[in-house]
Amino acid sequence: MSIKSINDIPIEELPVGRGTSKQVLISTDEGPNFAMRRFIIEPDGFMPLHRNSVEHEQFCLAGSAEVVIGDKNRIVKKNDIVFIPSGVPHSYKTLGQESFEFLCMVPNHEDIIELDE
């Protein structure tokens, strides 16, 4: 068991996309089955089209974004829930002047990430 404050967890800027950062809230070392991460994409920011070898379960915390999942484009916003199957290409682009934030839970398996662009 662990309890911690989100304010004590470092935020890491991602080397791909623009204005995108990540916090690892529950690491693969802490959770026996899943890891939990928080992503923040600043206004005018994006995460490029990519695919992961593990599925993603996501809960949108703030803002809105255009999300591409496979061949579908969707607008997601605060309180929406998103499921992305493993191997399916996906991307995010923030809409409006508020950061888009979401929790992302992934199984504790090797995650191979491939950029599609």
pLDDT at residue 55 is higher than 70? yes
Can you tell me the mean pLDDT for 26-54? 96
List all residues 6 or more positions away from 43 whose beta carbon is below 8 Å from its beta carbon.
19, 94, 96, 97, 98, 99
Distance CA 3, CA 30 (A): 11
Distance CA 42, CA 32 (A): 31
- Please, are residues 41 and 76 in contact by the beta-carbon 8 Å criterion? no
Q: pLDDT grade, residue 1 (50/70/90)? A: confident
pLDDT at residue 117 is higher than 80? no
User: In 3D, which of 27, 65, 71 has the Cα closest to residue 44?
Assistant: 65
Q: What are the angstrom distances between the C-alpha of 9 and each of 24, 49, 107? A: 7, 27, 20
User: What confidence score (pLDDT) does residue 64 get?
Assistant: 98
User: In 3D, which of 37, 88, 98 has the Cα closest to residue 62?
Assistant: 98
